[in-house]
Amino acid sequence: MTSVLNIAGYRFVNLEDPSALRESLLAMARGCGLRGTILLAQEGINFFLAGEPQGVRAFLAVLHSDPRFTGLEAKESWSAEQPFRKLLVKVKREIIRMNHPAIQPAQGRAPAIDASTVRRWLDQGHDDEGRPVVTLDTRNAFEVDHGTFEGAVDWRLSKFSEFPDALQAHKNELEGKTVVSFCTGGIRCEKAAIYMREAGLDHVWQLDGGILKYFEEAGGAHFRGNCFVFDEREALDPELQPGIRKSAPAA
């Protein structure tokens, strides 16, 4: 029986005082009986939480009442057991570390492409203007090893902050192609897409909502394996159910 509701979401938005927000979100999530992690920074919020459905819905309702988070979409999946051991709310310098302060998604997102369009492009082998399509995995190497899109570019990153240097080393390989950057839930591929556009690549998109949203809307088409997630489920299959366990290397 899958009675635990899992949610993942993020938003790049200016938070002037993330430390003050930390206290209110910690109390709110605790009061709703949730476990998981909430990351806060001046650039926004990123969270992975789980609990009884009514507690999760209550948390999201209060979160959405804050104008900064109105309309924030949380991706959902279900599990039989609570996949998190405790609740953590942390204030960080970045909600996803890239070490490039000039990249500020809150000032304007890179264009996003929905799952059905990506699936159609991959079906036909090119975008709607005839350019070849490249899927670019922005996740860490051990995550990629659990599963990725067929033929995806994988630069074997050990951490996301390596992405800018990897792009500079391989930029010429992406010239003239339509690049779809993707990650688990959208946060890394959004920063990556902005960086690639600022680096001079003209035809770059982010997969809206990442792999998890793709699974919701397009199933497992063109994807091989499972999607690694940072909780005790370890990885989800295209039906958003725990897949075959494959332990990541020790840190």
Q: Where are the domains of the chain?
A: 4-91, 105-236
What is the CB neighbour count within 10 angstroms for residue 172?
8
Would you say 157 and 163 are in contact if contact means Cβ atoms under 8 Å apart? yes
Fold designation for 4-91: Alpha-Beta Plaits (3.30.70)
Establish whether 183 is a catalytic residue.
yes
Q: Where are the beta strands (DSSP E) in 22-177?
A: 35-41, 44-51, 75-79, 87-91, 112-113, 133-137, 147-149, 153-154
| Tens digit of each residue's pLDDT, the chain (251 residues) | 569 999 999 999 999 999 999 999 999 999 999 999 999 999 999 999 999 999 999 999 999 999 999 999 999 999 999 999 999 999 999 998 887 765 667 666 778 999 999 999 999 999 999 999 999 999 999 999 999 999 999 999 999 999 999 999 999 999 999 999 999 999 999 999 999 999 999 999 999 999 999 999 999 999 999 999 999 999 999 999 997 655 444 43
Q: What is the distance between the alpha carbons of residues 15 and 94, in angstroms, rounded to a whole number?
A: 11
- Return the closest-CA partner of residue 69 out of 9, 112, 7, 113: 9
User: What pLDDT, on the 0 to 100 scale, is given for residue 221?
Assistant: 97
- Cα–Cα dist 183/38, whole Å: 18
Q: What is the biggest distance separating any 2 CA atoms in the chain, rounded to whole angstroms?
A: 52
Instruction: Work out whether strand 87-91 and strand 4-12 pair parallel, antiparallel, or are unpaired.
Output: unpaired
The alpha carbon dihedral of 108, 16, 18, 60 has a sign of negative
CA atoms of 168 and 170, how far apart (whole Å): 6
Which residue in the list 32, 183, 189, 227 is annotated as catalytic?
183
pLDDT reported for residue 108? 67
pLDDT of residue 244: 65
Q: Given strand 75-79, what is the order of strands in its sheet?
A: 75-79, 4-12, 44-51, 35-41, 87-91
Rounded to the nearest 5 degrees, what angle is found at the Cα of 86, between the Cα atoms of 80 and 91?
A: 130
Which fold is adopted by the domain 105-236?
A: Oxidized Rhodanese; domain 1 (3.40.250)
The pLDDT of residue 97: 86
